[in-house]
Structures are given as C-alpha cells and as structure tokens.
Amino acid sequence: MENCTSYYGGGIACCFNSSPNIKGNTITECGEDDYGVGGGIYCAENSNPEINDNTIIGNGAHMGGGGIYCYAASPTIIENTISDNWTCGLSAGGGIYCVGGFAFISDNLIENNFSGLGTGIHCQYSNATIHGNIISQVEFSGYVGISCHESVLEISNNLIMGGQIESGPGIQCYNSSPLITNNIISGFVGFEEGGIYCCNNSNPNIINTVIVDNIFSQSGGGVRCSGSSSPAIINCILWGNTPNKPR
C-alpha cells in the first residue's frame, strides 16, 4: 500500500468491533496532512487487530499516530518495523499513539519517527504493555521515546536510544505510575528532563534498569522528578549521566 490518503487510517482502517489479522504488509507514504489520524493504520473503538510483521514507513498524520493510531482499541502490535513516520506540530505518537483501550506492543523496531510528543510511542488514558522493543532516534525526531499520560503501563525489556540528539527524555511519565523494568535508556539530550522524567504526581517503579550517557543542560541527567512525583528506583545502574552539556 503506497500513497493512500484518508482522514482515518491512510493505509488501513479497522472500524468499530473489527479484529483483522494485518500481517506481512508494506504500508508507506500514506496519511493525511490536514487533520487526519493514523497515517499507516487506524484502529477504532472495540477493535482488536493483530498487527504483525509489517513494514510501516514514511506515513503521516496531522493529529496523531503517524504509523499507528489506536482509539479505545486493544491491538496486538508485534514484530513490525515502524520508522520515519510523522505527525504535525505538537501532535503525539510519531510511531504509535494509543488513547484508551489495552495495547500489547512487543518486539518491534520503532525508529526515526517524528512528533511533538512520544516520538516512538505515546499512550494517553491507556493500559498497555510495551515489551522487548527497540526504540531508536538516531536522527532529530522530536521529543520523548515513550510518553505515558494518565496511563497504566508496563515498560519492560526495551532498548530506548536517543542517539545524542535534542530529543528530551527517554521515558516521560505524566500523572502515571508505570512499572519500568529491565530496560536500557541511553543517549538522550535535552533541557531539564532526564533519561526518565517523572512529573505531575507520577510514582513509577523503576527496577533493574540501566540509564546511561544522558545529557541535560539544566537538571536531570539520569532521572528527574517534579510536581509531587516520588518514583521508587530499585537495583538500577545510573552511569555517565550529566546535567550539563559538554562545551
């Protein structure tokens, strides 16, 4: 599928109460510049698609979810390549956007997507398991590897890499308290957020996680907490992080 245009799901739209098996496809340069969501794939209310082994590259959506947008849906998203997708301005979820629902996101390569927030994955009012993914930003690609806003997440066994570009934190928690375990978070650069940024009453459990070589100009370095946030940091390695950019 190439050069497809639609407000909902430029490549594929899974409408209400649908559960397709979407496997082995190439979806590229699809989407809508003006007001669309889900440039590559859109999943609507109560849809439960299996999205497996697809290549989702170079798709765009103005309002969110350049690669995949899920609204009150429960997709299984595994073993896909999701790269170089985009959203406009401050819209979220360059790779994957989940609002509401229950998502299982595992063993994907999610790289070089662009958005204002959650360049790799953005979850809002969602329950999600994010496991075993490579989330990489080796070029300038927006802000935050994974962002969780008022969501319940398990973020485990992921490699989250910033590539020493101006990209903000690797994980941002906003009024969310996810379980963050067995991840590697490295190479993020920004102003004052840290490799993991906990804000607005976020109390995540950060366990067995390696947080290395993150650089922030004002504060943060490895982990930054603000707005009445109190994370538990247990058995982690924090190494080579700094709150000052090298001159």
Mean pLDDT of 181-199: 90
What value does the mean pLDDT of the chain take? 89
**Burial group, residue 135, by CB count within 10 angstroms (0-12, 13-18, 19+):** buried
- Cβ atoms of 187 and 162 within 8 Å: the answer is yes
Please check the confidence at residue 245 and state whether its pLDDT lies above 60. Answer: no
Please check the confidence at residue 139 and state whether its pLDDT lies above 90. Answer: no
For residue 47, the model assigns a pLDDT of 93
Helices (H) and strands (E) in the chain, counts: 0, 31
Amino acid at 236: C
For residue 220, the model assigns a pLDDT of 79
The widest CA-to-CA distance across the chain, in whole angstroms, is 55
For residue 3, the model assigns a pLDDT of 45
For residue 217, the model assigns a pLDDT of 76
Closest listed residue to residue 58, CA positions, set 34, 36, 87, 35: 87
CA distance 24 to 80: 9
Please check the confidence at residue 172 and state whether its pLDDT lies above 80. Answer: yes
- Cβ atoms of 97 and 125 within 8 Å: the answer is no
The predicted-structure confidence for 57-90, as pLDDT tens digits, reads as follows 999 998 889 999 999 999 999 999 999 999 987 7
Q: How many residues does the chain have?
A: 247
